[in-house]
A and B are shown apart, each in its own frame.
Chain A
């Protein structure tokens, strides 16, 4: 282009995610991924030590403290937020049709919730039996 570029370019500041509630919720959700990964690694390390402790129950004894309880409650809240927002988004991706009618998006999300509960029950049964 022969013309001199006289455009005014606006740069996003590093604090762009504080500009709108929707951006903030997005960043919080991204942050929850760190908790998901960190707790998954923590669990794997704990399970790797199951032999030392003798049993799963022995592992959990080490976590039985007020601090352990508080940390676990925080992690639980964060993971619930992550999981629920994730499942609520699934109908956006999975759009099903049946007899020319779109399947109710709530059914798609509902199926995920059912799967989540079933998986949780199976894990609870394995750990607590």
Chain B
């Protein structure tokens, strides 16, 4: 950012923070905090400064501070971001509006209730179910680089739920399985060692699954790990539709 006519850093960072205290209030409000500018601060640092120096009642989640744990996702000026990866300088000296992740119920201040996602995630069997199980003594299930590359991108998900906050389909109807869960299902479907694609179909191809996705594509745009959930869901649509056509043409044949 180009230096302003005044001394850089003399103007305060202005944070407009979403506050909701369920024991005291029925409606949320925005509270303004002004704190000293530091050019190496990310938004999460600014929030921690508020919590430590200004207002200890402010609640928010965070853990690793390095874009791996997926805990600190919030809406920063209307965009779902990992607050540990957004520099204050990106907005300074303009005010920064910080809200809890969109489309989720707010438990308190910037803390959302993630129960819905936590309940949905295991229903897509997001783990390896070996196609040909073998005893441990017989060694690993080997993969070629191409077989790894086929799904690797989709395996980078950190469950930060930014994609759910970007997805208007989920925002309008929270019965939708959502981007991350469906992308993880597809990640295992594309794994050469896995054999549970047909079992996942019950959930993945249900009305609440891939077919509810209208491909807005914003999940892919906001993903901090470049997982491309939207792409994964379209691949799943093609893959399951192809299976269905094959089962119509060749009844009784294996997948």
Contacts and interface: CB of A to CB of B under 8 A. Distances in A.
Contacts of A44: none
Interface in A74-101: 89, 92-95, 97, 99-101
A92 B221 CA distance: 13
Interface of B: 20, 22-23, 27-28, 78, 102-103, 105-107, 113, 144-146, 149-150, 168, 171-172, 214-218, 221, 228, 230-231, 234-235, 237-238
A19 interface: yes
A6 interface: yes
Contact of B221 (A8, A22, A94, A101): A22
Given A12-B168, A89-B234, A100-B149, A7 B107 contact: yes
Nearest to A27: B216
A94 B238 contact: yes
Given A7-B22, A7-B106, A100-B146, A23 B231 contact: no
Contacts of A22: 216-218, 221
A93 B22 contact: no
Given A8-B28, A10-B106, A93 B231 contact: yes
Given A7-B113, A8-B22, A19-B78, A92 B168 contact: no
A10 B102 contact: yes
A56 interface: no
A89 to B, nearest CB: 7
Which of B102, B150, B216: most chain A CB closer than 10 A? B216
Interface of A: 6-10, 12, 16-17, 19-20, 22-23, 26, 30, 89, 92-95, 97, 99-102
B216 A23 contact: yes
A97 B150 contact: yes
17 contacts: A7-B106, A7-B107, A8-B20, A12-B168, A17-B168, A20-B218, A23-B216, A23-B218, A92-B230, A92-B235, A93-B237, A93-B238, A97-B146, A97-B150, A100-B144, A100-B149, A102-B149
Contact of B105 (A9, A16, A19): A9
A27 to B, nearest CB: 9
Which of A7, A22, A101: most chain B CB closer than 10 A? A7
Contacts of B171: 12, 16
Nearest to A17: B168
A92 B234 contact: yes
Contact of A30 (B146, B214, B238): B214
A92 B144 CA distance: 22
B168 A23 contact: yes
B50 to A, nearest CB: 20
Given A8-B106, A89-B234, 12 more contacts: A7-B107, A7-B113, A10-B106, A12-B172, A16-B171, A16-B172, A23-B218, A26-B216, A30-B214, A92-B234, A93-B234, A93-B238
